[in-house]
């Protein structure tokens, strides 16, 4: 392949590109930083080691599961810090790790996992977390007096504080899902510049959730904007669900939960456009986590009504079977995209540019 052909196949640096697993597996390893492969293997595609599995069963996938791949911006170096494997390209770092549960509980395990993660960032010089993916089994089960997700939150927040990382305002974008496997799985991206954290005016910041949801709040922002040029950026939108203020709404009503989730996503996108970049929900590439596989088709149907069946969102959507971190939530949607400046807006570097009418 010529350089141009490889570039076309791999995608543009500074943004995710969504491929089928088979296509992702064929990309030249020295041209990619890292990526996530969604769905449990149901064929013989063996994943390259730069591609971190998200081992939740893919739903509604007519053919093959998908992967999000981040093309390398430069020469890739790879290594390990403790059990964490990482690759970096001069601009960003992609990391992945799996921890076995050792019987001391998820609070201890999450604290250790995040302590190791922050050691990786300190050792490599990629100090600023942009996006985290957290997967843990039996997320809604009791872990000995406290729900396992709440134990995880306690260890995570303490590790952020211990490392001097933004545990409250300015926390990275993230998701935390229950998967049907074993161990605590983390995947993460970090960079050398501070991302712009986005909150949702319809929701209490997660890092300020009251103690009804656990002794320590979750550590994430609703989205993160990573600038790739003065007028272009990548948007990572955290897992988003049917929560208004801090309360779950529409318990037991799938369609209403989806509609509320979309209102939350639209609100996060409106906030993110204040950065001067034309982010649009319908153009983004989501991962849709569904608690009950039997409801997946109904979820897709409702989303298609709202976003249009031909939208990029619908054509690229990945559906995964996972438990959401509150037992009353049926669906959670995360998404991302890359975009350039809004017409008529002069973006300033990382700060908020006013959107003109």
The strand pairing partners of 221, in sequence order, are 173
Q: How far apart are CA 124 and CA 299, in angstroms?
A: 41
13 binds ligand 3EB (CB under 6 A): no
The residue range among 158-166, 238-246, 296-304, 336-344 that interacts with ligand 3EB, by the rule CB under 6 A, is 238-246
The size of the interface with ligand 3EB (CB under 6 A), counted in residues, is 12
Q: Which of 189, 241, 267, 307 binds ligand 3EB (CB under 6 A)?
A: 241
134 binds ligand 3EB (CB under 6 A): yes
**In sequence order, what are the residues at sequence separation of 6 or more whose Cβ sits closer than 8 angstroms to the Cβ of residue 137?**
178, 179, 180, 181, 182, 183
CA distances from 190 to 70, 105, 134, 263, 286 (A): 12, 27, 15, 28, 20
Nearer to ligand 3EB, 17 or 217 (CB): 217
Nearer to ligand 3EB, 26 or 208 (CB): 208
- What are the structure tokens assigned to 175, written together? 């998701």
CA distances from 52 to 86, 233, 235 (A): 11, 24, 20
| Alpha helix ranges (H) inside 31-147 | 106-124
Minimum gap (Å) between residue 282 Cβ and ligand 3EB: 21
Minimum gap (Å) between residue 63 Cβ and ligand 3EB: 29
238 binds ligand 3EB (CB under 6 A): yes
Q: Cα–Cα–Cα angle for 78, 350, 343, nearest 5°?
A: 115
Contact indicator for 97, 84 with CB cutoff of 8 Å: yes
Q: Which of 94, 135, 220, 236 binds ligand 3EB (CB under 6 A)?
A: 220
Task: Give, as ranges, the residues between 298 and 357 that touch ligand 3EB (CB under 6 A).
Answer: 325
Nearer to ligand 3EB, 37 or 287 (CB): 287
Task: Give, as ranges, the residues between 168 and 197 that touch ligand 3EB (CB under 6 A).
Answer: 174-176
239 binds ligand 3EB (CB under 6 A): yes
Minimum gap (Å) between residue 18 Cβ and ligand 3EB: 20
Q: What is the Cα gyration radius of the chain? A: 19
Provide the annotated active-site residues: 332
* DSSP string across 78-116: EEEETTEEEEE-SSEEEEEEEE---SS-HHHHHHHHHHH
The residue range among 51-59, 234-242, 269-277, 289-297 that interacts with ligand 3EB, by the rule CB under 6 A, is 234-242
Q: How far apart are CA 165 and CA 171, in angstroms?
A: 8
267 binds ligand 3EB (CB under 6 A): no
The residue range among 10-18, 85-93, 239-247, 339-347 that interacts with ligand 3EB, by the rule CB under 6 A, is 239-247
Minimum gap (Å) between residue 172 Cβ and ligand 3EB: 9
Minimum gap (Å) between residue 324 Cβ and ligand 3EB: 7
Nearer to ligand 3EB, 69 or 224 (CB): 224
Contact indicator for 133, 175 with CB cutoff of 8 Å: yes
Contact indicator for 176, 239 with CB cutoff of 8 Å: yes
- What are the structure tokens assigned to 348, written together? 């300033």
110 binds ligand 3EB (CB under 6 A): no
206 binds ligand 3EB (CB under 6 A): yes
Q: Which residue is nearest to ligand 3EB (CB)?
A: 239
Phi-psi category of residue 316: left, alpha or beta, with phi > 0 → left and psi -120 to 50 → alpha: alpha
Residue from 184, 219, 190 nearest 123 by CA: 190
Measured in residues, the chain has a length of 357
Q: Which residues here bind ligand 3EB, judged by CB under 6 A?
A: 134, 174-176, 206, 218, 220, 238-239, 241, 243, 325
């Amino acid at each position: 392949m010529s350089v141009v052909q490889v570039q076309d196949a791999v995608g543009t640096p500074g943004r995710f590109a969504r491929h089928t697993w088979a296509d992702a597996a064929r990309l030249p390893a020295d041209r990619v930083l890292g990526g996530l492969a969604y769905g449990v293997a149901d064929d013989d595609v063996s994943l390259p080691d730069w591609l971190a599995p998200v081992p939740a069963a893919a739903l509604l996938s007519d053919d093959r599961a998908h992967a999000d791949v981040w093309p390398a911006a430069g020469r890739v170096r790879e290594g390990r810090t403790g059990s964490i494997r990482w690759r970096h390209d001069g601009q960003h770092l992609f990391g992945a790790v799996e921890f076995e549960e050792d019987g001391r509980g998820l609070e201890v395990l999450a604290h250790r996992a995040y302590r190791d993660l922050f050691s990786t960032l300190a050792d490599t010089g990629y100090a600023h977390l942009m996006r985290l993916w957290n997967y843990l089994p039996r997320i809604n089960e009791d872990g000995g007096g406290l729900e396992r997700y709440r134990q995880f939150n306690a260890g995570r927040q303490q590790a952020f504080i211990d490392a001097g990382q933004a545990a409250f305002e300015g926390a990275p974008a993230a998701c935390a899902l229950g998967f049907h496997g074993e161990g605590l799985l983390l995947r993460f991206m970090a960079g050398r510049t501070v991302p712009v954290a986005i909150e949702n005016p319809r929701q209490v910041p997660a890092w300020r959730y009251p103690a009804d949801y656990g002794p320590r709040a979750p550590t994430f922002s609703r989205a993160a904007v990573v600038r790739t040029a003065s007028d272009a950026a990548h948007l990572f939108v955290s897992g988003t669900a049917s929560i208004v203020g801090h309360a779950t709404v529409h318990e037991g009503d799938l369609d209403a939960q989806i509609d509320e989730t979309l209102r939350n996503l639209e609100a996060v996108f409106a906030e993110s456009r204040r950065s001067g970049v034309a982010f649009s929900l319908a153009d983004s590439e989501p991962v849709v986590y569904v608690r009950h596989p039997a409801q997946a088709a109904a979820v897709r149907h409702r989303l298609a009504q709202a976003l249009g069946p031909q939208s990029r969102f619908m054509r690229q959507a990945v559906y995964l079977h996972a438990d959401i971190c509150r037992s009353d939530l049926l669906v959670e949607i995360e998404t991302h995209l890359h975009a350039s400046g809004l017409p008529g807006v002069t973006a300033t570097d990382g700060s908020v540019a006013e959107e003109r009418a």
